[in-house]
Every structure is written in structure tokens, then in C-alpha cells.
Chains A and B, each alone.
Chain A
Amino acid sequence: MAAFEPVLTKNVGKPEALTLQGYRQLGGYEGLTKALTMEPDAIIDEVKKSGLRGRGGAGFPAGMKWSFIPKGKDKPKYLVCNADESEPGTFKDRLLMENDPHQLIEGCAICCFAVSANTCYIYIRGEYVKSALVLEQAIKEAYENGILGDSVMGSGFKLNMYIHRGAGAYICGEETGMLESLEGKRGQPRVKPPFPAVVGAFGAPTVINNVETLCNVPHILTRGADWFKSIGTDERNTGPKLYAISGHVERPGTYEHPIGITFREMLDAAGGMWRGKQLKAFIPGGASAPILKPDQIDIKMDFDTVAKAGSMLGSAAVIVMDETTCMVRSVARLAKFFNHESCGQCTPCREGTNWMELVLKRLEHGEGTERDAQMLLSICKNIGGQSLCALGDAAIGPVKSLVDRFPEEIEQHVRERKCPFPQPRYFENGA
């Protein structure tokens, strides 16, 4: 495993990759050149064969998503690149956009050609100012050199690419919420079906892919699906993967590993636990993933294994917590986030996330009762699977795992009528 050669992040730390010329010298735009000589269906088949799964969180096979786009020419088609990276703990797409913007443009262009979309939007979260500026510069350069515009690299295929900056709502990272926001409406998810592949942006068929997913595409085309499949654990979990590791580790950051690396190896790569403390819990896939305990330290970090362990890989944002962490406080903070970010249109999510936050805050302040754990579970049950979009399910992930896996901590809070853990101050402002 140690001999793994970075794929997505190979240009990170090479400032020349920011310019078109430099990116080309590093082997860029070969994938697009090759793609333009292929049949669109052949590209989709290649991506399907590679087993590339969506890196945004749901892990839906990308090739299959592309093949859902109707073939007819009666409506325009769109590609929307989801760069609204707002899951707490996730900071992988930012790295790709800031350091290797042309890789993303190339991936978008190949995808557009494969589904014959002539317009691509990159929906980027408002806080990512640098990413937006870098991408904008790169897109400008690509237009000037004929990579985008009326004829992509002289092939006659027309492609326009736009950057759309969000205004800072987590829910706009949900695909249909993003479409609403892109259309200039209030960013809140739509009822599905119809799915965006049929009725998406502006009522037209739309592919929505994460930044990292699209960045994988040029490499699949240049080096082949078989090469891609050779990385990873099995047929269903292939390719390189960015892991954003944060929390109580020595060197937090974004690391590229073959998908399916064990959590222990990943922790070692990040320098181990912070100040040699004991691992208490870790979240394998962003704020919405249920929390895992140290007995899962040898878990393979791929989509299916993590799901089997009762969590999810999600966006592969790994948050590590050491022994001094109060789980109730941590989960209360996550619940606060979901309450704050719920769009408010559907009942279970609007009312449930609010209620959960109130109960958890009460528990943390030592005002809990013996019945609260059961009540939290019951609230989770009433939200789970019954909300309009996935935010409801996301919000219950950490809460449910708290009750299921750390019941003794809740009991301790109730029994002692206070939080038994220290209240460390990491920052001047008391956060």
C-alpha cells in the first residue's frame, strides 16, 4: 500500500498545474483528447466498467447515472458539478479545485461530451473564494485556448462552462436543492421522482456529479478502466479516494489513498493520535455518518464495508475523537448544525432536528432524564426515511449512534447531573 502513487493529487504542490500550459506538460487534457475520438456511449461504458462511484456521499455508480440521461435532442442537457462542499469535516474538493482546476474542467468536459450536454455549471459554495477565483481563471484560459467554447479542441462539440457561487446553505449541496438555487429560487430540495436525470435544471435532463468524481474521469480514460479497477478492495469499490482527516490526529489534512485502506493505516499516515491520546470514537464519512468505536479500527474504508459496519463512507471526511471528548457534547454540536441547516420545508426534519438539539443540549447541561435516550431513538425513528430529502436521515446518524454505541455516557450525564468531561478551550474565543 505504501507504494501507492497519487492520482488525483499528483499535481498538488506543483504551481505550474494552475496554468493550462503547465497542466498539459504534466499530461493533462489527454483524457479529453481521447474522449473526443470515442463514441459517447463508449465513454459511458468505460466509466461504468471502471466501477467509479460517486464521491459526494451516496456512492452511486457514476457511469450508470450518466446512462440515465435520455438520448433525444428535444431538450438541452446540463451537467452540474457539485462543488458545494459543506459537510462538516470535508475539505477534499477544495484541494482539487485550488491546486488542479484544469483536472476538474477536463473531467466536466468529458462528462458533457458523453451525455451530449452543452452547458456545464459548477455550483461552488460561497465560502470557497479562492477555489472560485482559481477555477474562473482556469476556465478563462480554457476558453482562450479553444478547450471550451463553440468547438471543444476543434471537434465541433460546443461546451459552455459557468461558475455559480452559492450563498452558504448546506442544503444547497443536496442535488435538487442545488438545482433550485441554481435556478434562482429558494434553495430547498424537490420532491423525487422525477429525478434530475429526467427533470433537472430548468426542467431539462441533468447530470449532477461531485468534484472528485469528475476529477477521476480523465484518468479513467487515459489509463483505462482496468487500471482503475486494479485499485481498491473489490469490484464495487475501485479507484483512488481522497480522505479528509481531522480532529485529534497529529497531522490533519487531505490524504489520497486507494479506496479500502484500513482506518488504522490512515491514522498512521496522519501521524497517529494527537499527543498520543487514546482513540475513543471516529466518524468515517462526515457529520452525517454514524459514529464508530475503536473496535472498528481495522475497518476497510470503502463504501460497502463501512455500510456493513453500520455507518457510511459518505464524503470520506474522517473525524477522529480522543478519550477526552464528550460524545454527548459532540453530538449536540452536530445536531445544532443540522437544525441550523434544515431548510424547514418538511415536517420531520424541521421539527425533529430542532427537538433533538434541544434534548441533547439539555442532556449535556445535566438536565436529562432516564427516558431521554429512548425518546431520542423514537424521534430518530420518526425522522428516518420519512423526510423529503436525505438531510433528515443524515441528522439522525450521529444521534442514533450515540444512543446505540455510547449509552453509558448518556447515563453518566443523567446520573451525575453534569457533563463528566473537561471543557477544553482550543481557541481564544472559547470555542
Chain B
Amino acid sequence: MPKVTINDRTVEVEAGTNVIEAGLKAGVLVPHYCYHPRLSVVGQCRMCLVEITENGRKMPKLQTACSSYVMKDGWSVRTDTPEVAEAQKGMMEFFLINHPLDCPICDQAGECGLQDYSFKHGVAYSRFQYEDKRTYPGRERIPLGANVVLNMNRCIQCTRCIRFTQEVAGTGELGFFNRGARVEIGTFPGKELSNPLATCVVDICPVGALTSTRFRFAERVWYLDKKPSICTGCEVGCNVTMEQRRGDIKRYKPRFNPEVNDYWMCDFGRATFERYKKVPRLASPRVKAEGGNGHAPVLNTGWSQALDAVHRALVSAQGDVAFLGSGFLTTEEAYLFAKLADLSSATRRSVPVDLGPEWTIPRHQRPPITGREAAPNRRGAELAGLTSALEGDNGTDDLLHGDSPVPAVLVVCDSDFGQAAWDAATVARLRRAKFLVVFGWADSPLALAADVALPVAHHGEKDGTFVNVEWRVQRFERAFAPIGQVRPAVEVLGDLLSRFEGGWSQVSAGSVFDRLAGELPAFAGLSWHRLPATGAALHVPGAQISDRAAETASEASA
């Protein structure tokens, strides 16, 4: 592999790597706007000009780093010479002379390429004093589609968005119109930017020209707290950054993971957090009075009374217990529920398949990834032990549909386990159990009907792992503290398990993950702290995997 020296730092890169990527490897950021690792190289923003010396011979002109490929040894690149600085300064001036400089009302302010580079490479005064700025009257807020708004005045014509629709989304709705300084971005006549990945153009827009209708004027970005998370929209498990302020999630942005979602995510996934705002929360443990018949007064109690009630019920049921799992549980929670099922000698447990719309994310140099299920972690929950494939276990799926006999105690692991949780008929069917325990974040009809409803954190409020459609286990982090008396399910289950046997106090998602990694062959060798940021592929023998989603789909269509 050829070696290249960038600002006196030498790195070895693969032949054909461009200087921007080589620079990143060496720890040197070459400023750029139009270059994006997944889009074709057009070299048109001219911000990445660098000085290249080949075997001691300086190239006569500055070269664009994005279109200069390291093929052999002997290149020395400098990004810090006066000549380069002068060029960057000149380019920043060109970008800004016709830019409206409306940062105070621009959503991009704070994460804007123009702000960053003009601070670093630009000058603080303007020589463009006597002329009028070029504007695009009437094109300040053009809805390109349902989710994206264009402000042409702010555009720096890097064409990333055009290339994205052509090369990644493959839909090509956007084009470059007009010429010279009057050039503009727009949709072709009769088309609108409505592909499932449309909002990605907002992410790759280096300035505030493209804004998301969902995030427009929602928050100044410097107030946002960011944590790595996983999208719960489907089983793809797109890596996202959860951006919130004081427990109010403002947006999801895709987080780069070449193994899963690359740089992209779909518009559907971006909207999934809105559920946490629309659906009423379950804020404190709730127990119905003893001996009630469904109309008894409801008591908001403390955690220990509620857990005592659950413990008593599970013990007295003598095995006539069913656990209705959910694909929204983290792997750790599912593992603890499975332990609880073992200790209460439950005979029935399973995770229902919840088919959702199909979402496909294109990936670089590998086939696209497609999710069919609406829940992110059905596979992880089953691997952790919530499966009817165990010996002598009948599963709980038929509780949702058929007239199968109801158990004495039914534990619903998630009040919002899928579409069925909101279906009145299903709720009535599940309510036939003598004692209904519901864990969950949502105050759904099911939670209202429960004998004991336990408020647990939703996925922004807890740590955990999800296993995606390709059996990749990925970790996400708690972004903010739960409200009210809500506690992460892992802690609640730890307390509950402690009532059966010792060794379960003070558990956390991390400790549970390490415990299950030691126990379950699929997770062998993994540990919470050493789980890579891009996740880890699980060792699941192919033969054991029955594609339940496909089976369910074919049943539904039959």
C-alpha cells in the first residue's frame, strides 16, 4: 500500500484513496463541501485545494484533494502553506458574498459548514460592500416534498443533494437549473422529493439550504444533547444519534455504520420518536385493589408494593403463567423476563411477530438491507430466551388471536408491544387472565386494564442492545433520565428476581449483557464494554433460524 505524507504525518493508505480520506486517516481535516464519501467526486466546491509535491517536485497548481488519488509512494501533501490558506480564504469569500448571512434564523446555525470554515479559514470583514447580493426572490421556502424545504438563497451549489437522489436513492428528482451565478437547485417539473430516504438530503446539505419540516425551527442545535442510539422503526436497526433537550427528543440523525445503514436512514424512522410525545405515559406503578372485578379502585402505589403483588401472584399461580414478549424489549430485558419465566415455572412465553411496512436502506458495495418487522429486536428477545421453541412451551402468540385457554397470571412485557396492543378486542382477550401484569412506558388500554401496571423506561431512557435483521447486536445509550417514578425495566426485573433468589440486586444493562454473553452461545465472547461501535455479528447457526417473519407473512396472505 502506498504511503502518503500529509502535513508531516505519514500514513499508509490503499491505492486509489483520495487525499481527503488519507487526511482523515492522518488526522488532518481538509475542508470540503461537495465531497461526500458515498457520492461521486465532482471537485466543484474548490474548498479542498491542497499543495501536492510528488517526489520533491511541486505540482504547478493547487490540486483538489477530493479528486487527487494516492496511487504510489512519494506524495507529500500540505494543507497549511500560505498559498493554500490564501486559496481557502478566497473561496470562503466567494461562498459568502452571495450568502444571506441569516444565521440567527437559520436551523443549520451551529452545525453549518459555512460557519465552521469561515471561522477557521475565512476573514471577518467583507469586501463585497457596494453590490447587491444575488437572491432568488420567491424561492426562500420551497417545499421540495413533504419533509424537505429548500431556501435557495442559502445554497452554495455543492450538488450533494442532486447526486444523492441520483446515485443513492436512485430516484433523481432533483436537478441543477440555470447557469453561472443564477444556478439553482430544484425538482424536475411534476416531480416532488418524496422518496423514503428524502430527508437524508438535509443531513448531507452542508449549509441551511435544505431543512427538514420536522426539525424546522424546533430547537437551536447547540442546546441539543446527543447520544448514540438505534432507530426502533423496524428491524434494520439504523444507527442514529438521538438529539434531545431536557427529555424532549427533537430529532434522529443517522449515525455512520457501514455494516448497517451506512450514512442513511429512512424518513419513517426519523418520525418514530414522535410516538413518545403523542402517547400518554405511564408515570407511576399502579395496582388494582385486591378482590376487585375490573371496577375496583385503582391505587397508585410505590414500587415495592407493586412488585410484592406481582411476586405473590407469580408464586401462587404455580406455573400457570404466560409471558407475552415484545420485539421492543432490549436483549437484556428479554433475558431477565426469560429468567423470571423460568423461576415462576411459566409454561408459555413468546414474542409475537409484528409485520410492518418494508424499509430498505442502500449500502455501499453490498446489497441493501431490508426490514419487514415493525419491532427492532424480536430476534434478540428470542435469542435471550423469550421463545416458544423451548421444550414444553406453547407460546403466547395464539392469545392474541385465538380462544386458547388463558393462564392464571399473564405478564405482558411491553404495554406497546405492537399494533395488537392498541386493539380493543385483543385487550379484552388478554384481560380474561385472572391476574394481568403489564410492564411498559405507554398508558395503553392494556395498561389501564391491568391489575398491576409497571412504568418502565422507553428506549431513550435506558441502555440496552438490539439484534437486527442480520443478527448484528448493537448497543444504544440512555439519552436522558426517565420521568416520574419510571425506572428502566432491567432494574425493575432485577428487584423482582431478587424476591425469588439472590444475586439479582443492583443489576444494570451492562452487567446483564455480560451475564447473558457468558450463558448464551450466540453471544459468546462479547462484553458490554468491548462491544464495537458498529455492533457485532452474532454466531447464530443458519439452520436454526426459522424466518418467522416470512412464515407469518405467508400465513397472512394465505
A: residues with CB less than 8 A from B are 169, 171, 186, 191, 193, 339-348, 350-355, 358-359, 362, 367, 369, 375, 378, 381-382, 385-388
CA distance A350 to B178 in the complex (A): 12
In the A-B complex, list the 10 residue pairs whose CB atoms are closest, starting with the nearest: A382-B90, A344-B183, A354-B181, A191-B43, A351-B94, A342-B180, A358-B131, A345-B44, A346-B44, A385-B61
A367 and B130 form a contact (CB under 8 A): yes
A387: chain B residues within 8 A (beta carbon)? 46
Q: Name the residue among A339, A359, A386 with the largest chain B CB count within 10 angstroms.
A: A386
A335 to chain B, nearest CB (A): 12
- Mostly, the B contact residues are loop
Contact A339 B46 (CB under 8 A): no
Asked if B156 is an interface residue, CB under 8 A from chain A, the answer is: yes
The reply on B360 being an interface residue by CB < 8 A is no
Whether A345 and B94, one on each chain, are in contact in the complex, defined by CB atoms closer than 8 angstroms, is: no
Which of B95, B131, B179, B182 is packed against the most chain A CB atoms within 10 Å? Answer: B179
How far is it, in angstroms, between the C-alpha of A385 and the C-alpha of B91 when the chains are bound?
12
Instruction: Tell me, in angstroms, the Cα distance from A169 to B179 when the chains sit together.
Output: 10
CB distance from B62 to the nearest CB of A (A): 6
A350 & B183 in contact (Cβ 8 Å cutoff): yes
Q: Which of B88-127 contact A (CB under 8 A)?
A: 90-91, 93-95, 97-98, 127
B90 touches A381 (CB 8 A): yes
Q: Are B156 and A347 in contact, CB atoms less than 8 angstroms apart? A: yes
Cβ < 8 Å to A, chain B residues 146-164? 156-157, 159
Q: Pick 25 A–B contacts, CB within 8 A, sort by A.
A: A169-B179, A191-B43, A339-B180, A341-B180, A342-B181, A344-B180, A344-B182, A345-B176, A345-B183, A346-B45, A347-B95, A350-B94, A362-B130, A362-B131, A375-B127, A378-B90, A381-B86, A381-B90, A382-B87, A382-B90, A382-B93, A386-B46, A386-B61, A386-B87, A388-B46
Residues of A within 8 A of B62 (CB): 385-386
Given contacts A348-B46, A386-B90, 9 further A-B contacts (CB under 8 A): A191-B67, A193-B67, A341-B179, A341-B180, A347-B156, A351-B181, A352-B94, A358-B131, A381-B90
A346 with B46, Cβ < 8 A, contacts A191-B64, A382-B91 known: yes
- What's the nearest-Cβ distance from chain B to residue A82, in Å? 20
Instruction: List which B506-546 residues lie within 8 A (CB) of chain A.
Output: none
Closest to B132 in A: A358
* B91 CB contacts on chain A under 8 angstroms: 347-348, 382, 386
CB distance from B351 to the nearest CB of A (A): 51
Count chain B CB atoms within 10 A of each CB in A350, A355, A382, A385 and give the residue with the most: A350
A355 contacts B131, C-beta separation under 8 Å: yes
Q: CA–CA, A382 to B49, complex, Å?
A: 12
Find chain A residues with CB under 8 A from B42 CB: 191, 345
- Nearest CB of A to B107, in Å: 23
**Beta-carbon nearest neighbor of A371 in chain B:** B127
Q: In the bound complex, how far is the Cα of B180 from the Cα of A341, in angstroms?
A: 6
A342–B179 contact, CB under 8 A? Answer: yes
Nearest chain-A residue to B91 (Cβ)? A347
Min Cβ gap B178→A in Å is 7
B157 and A345 contacting across the interface, CB-CB below 8 Å: yes
What's the Cα separation between A353 and B95 when bound, in Å?
Answer: 13
Q: Collect the chain B residues with CB atoms within 8 Å of residue A378's CB.
A: 90
| Chain B residues within an 8 Å CB radius of A355 | 94, 97, 128, 131
Complex CA distance for A186 and B162, rounded to whole angstroms = 13
* A347 and B181 form a contact (CB under 8 A): no
Q: Given that A191-B64, A385-B61, A386-B91 are contacting pairs, would A354 and B180 also be in contact in the complex, using a CB cutoff of 8 Å?
A: yes
Residues of B within 8 A of A352 (CB): 94
Residues of A within 8 A of B175 (CB): 186
Neighbouring A residues of B46 by C-beta, 8 Å: 346-348, 386-388
Contact indicator A382/B94 (Cβ below 8 Å)? yes
Residues on A with beta carbons closer than 8 Å to the beta carbon of B271: none
Nearest B residue to A338 via CB reads B180
Give Cα A388–Cα B181 distance, bound, in whole angstroms.
15
Does B134 sit at the interface, judged by CB under 8 A?
yes
Contact A339 B87 (CB under 8 A): no
A347 touches B180 (CB 8 A): no
Any chain A CB within 8 A of the CB of B420? no
**Chain A min CB distance to B60 (Å):** 8
Report the Cα distance A355→B41, complex, angstroms: 27
Q: Could you tell me the distance between the alpha carbons of A379 and B373 in the complex, rounded to whole angstroms?
A: 57
Contact residues in B for A169 (Cβ distance below 8 Å): 179
* Interchain CA distance A387-B98 in the complex, whole Å: 18
User: What residues of B have a CB within 8 angstroms of the CB of A342 in the complex?
Assistant: 179-181
CA distance A186 to B175 in the complex (A): 10
Task: Compute how far the CA of A343 lies from the CA of B178 in the bound complex, rounded to whole angstroms.
Answer: 8
CB pair A386 B49 closer than 8 Å = yes
Does B47 sit within 8 A of A, measured CB to CB?
Answer: yes
Chain B residues near A350 (CB, 8 Å)?
Answer: 94, 157, 180-181, 183
**In contact, A344 and B157 (Cβ under 8 angstroms):** yes
Are A359 and B131 neighbours in the complex by a CB distance under 8 Å?
A: yes
Binary interface encoding of chain B residues 39-67 relative to chain A, with 1 for a CB under 8 A from any of its CBs, else 0: 00111111101000000000001101001
Task: List, in ascending order, chain B residues with CB within 8 A of A367's CB.
Answer: 130
Q: Are A351 and B98 in contact (CB under 8 A)?
A: yes
Q: With A and B bound together, what is the CA distance between A171 and B44 in angstroms?
A: 15
A204 → chain B closest CB, angstroms: 18
A385 to B47, CA, bound (A): 13
Chain B residue, CB-CB nearest to A351 = B94
- In contact, A343 and B179 (Cβ under 8 angstroms): yes
A348 to B90, CA, bound (A): 8
Residue of B nearest to A382 (CB): B90
* A387, closest chain B residue (CB): B46
Closest to A187 in B: B179
Complex: A348 Cα to B64 Cα, angstroms: 13
Q: What residue in chain B is nearest A368 (Cβ atoms)?
A: B130
In the assembled complex, the Cα of A340 lies from the Cα of B183 at a distance in Å of: 11
Distance in angstroms from B208 CB to nearest chain A CB is 17
In the complex the two chains form, is A344's CB within 8 Å of B179's CB? Answer: yes
Q: Could you say which of A340, A341, A344, A346 contacts B176, with CB atoms under 8 Å apart? A: A344
Closest-by-CB residue of A relative to B40 is: A191
Q: Give B47's nearest chain A residue, CB to CB.
A: A347
Of all chain A residues, the one with the shortest Cβ separation from B134 is: A354
Bound Cα distance from A355 to B131, whole angstroms: 8
Q: Bound complex: CA of A169 vs CA of B183, how far in Å?
A: 14
CA distance A191 to B91 in the complex (A): 18
- CB-nearest residue of chain B relative to A385? B61
Q: Which of A191, A354, A382 contacts B41 (CB 8 A)?
A: A191
Nearest-Cβ distance from residue B409 to partner chain A, whole angstroms: 68
Q: How many Å lie between the Cα of A359 and that of B91 in the bound state?
A: 18
Tell me, rounded to whole Å, the shortest Cβ–Cβ distance linking A12 to chain B.
35
Complexed CA–CA distance, A375 and B43 (Å): 26
Inter-chain contacts of B180 with A (CB < 8 A):
339-344, 350, 353-354
Could you say which residues of chain A place their CB within 8 Å of the CB of B159?
A: 345
- Which residues of the partner chain A approach B90 to less than 8 Å between Cβ atoms? 348, 378, 381-382, 386
- For B183, the chain A residues whose CB sits under 8 A away are 343-345, 350
A386 to B65, CA, bound (A): 12
Kindly state the separation between the CA atoms of A340 and B178 in the bound complex, as whole angstroms.
Answer: 10
Q: How far is the CA of A375 from the CA of B41 in the complex (A)?
A: 32
Give the residue of A193, A343, A348, A385 whose beta carbon is less than 8 angstroms from that of B94: A348
- Measured between C-beta atoms, what is the minimum distance from A390 to chain B in Å? 12
- Counting chain A CB atoms within 10 Å of each CB, the highest count among B49, B93, B95 belongs to B93
Q: In the complex the two chains form, what is the Cα distance from A339 to B180 in whole Å?
A: 6
A336 to B97 Cα, complex, angstroms:
18
Question: How far is B47's CA from A346's CA once the two chains are assembled, in angstroms?
Answer: 10
> How far, in whole Å, are A209 and B235 apart by their CA atoms in the complex?
56
Q: How far is the CA of A253 from the CA of B46 in the complex (A)?
A: 40
Alpha-carbon gap, A341 to B182, bound state (A) = 11
* B94 & A347 in contact (Cβ 8 Å cutoff): yes
**Nearest CB in chain A: distance from B176 CB, A:** 6
Chain A residues with Cβ below 8 Å from B45 are 346-347
Residues in B163-189 with C-beta less than 8 Å from chain A = 175-176, 178-183
**Residues of B close to A351: CB separation below 8 A:** 94-95, 97-98, 181
> Distance in Å from the Cβ of A180 to the closest Cβ of chain B?
11
Residues of chain A lying within 8 A (CB to CB) of residue B87: 382, 386
Of A191, A344, A367, A388, which is in contact with the most chain B CB atoms at under 10 Å from its CB?
A: A344
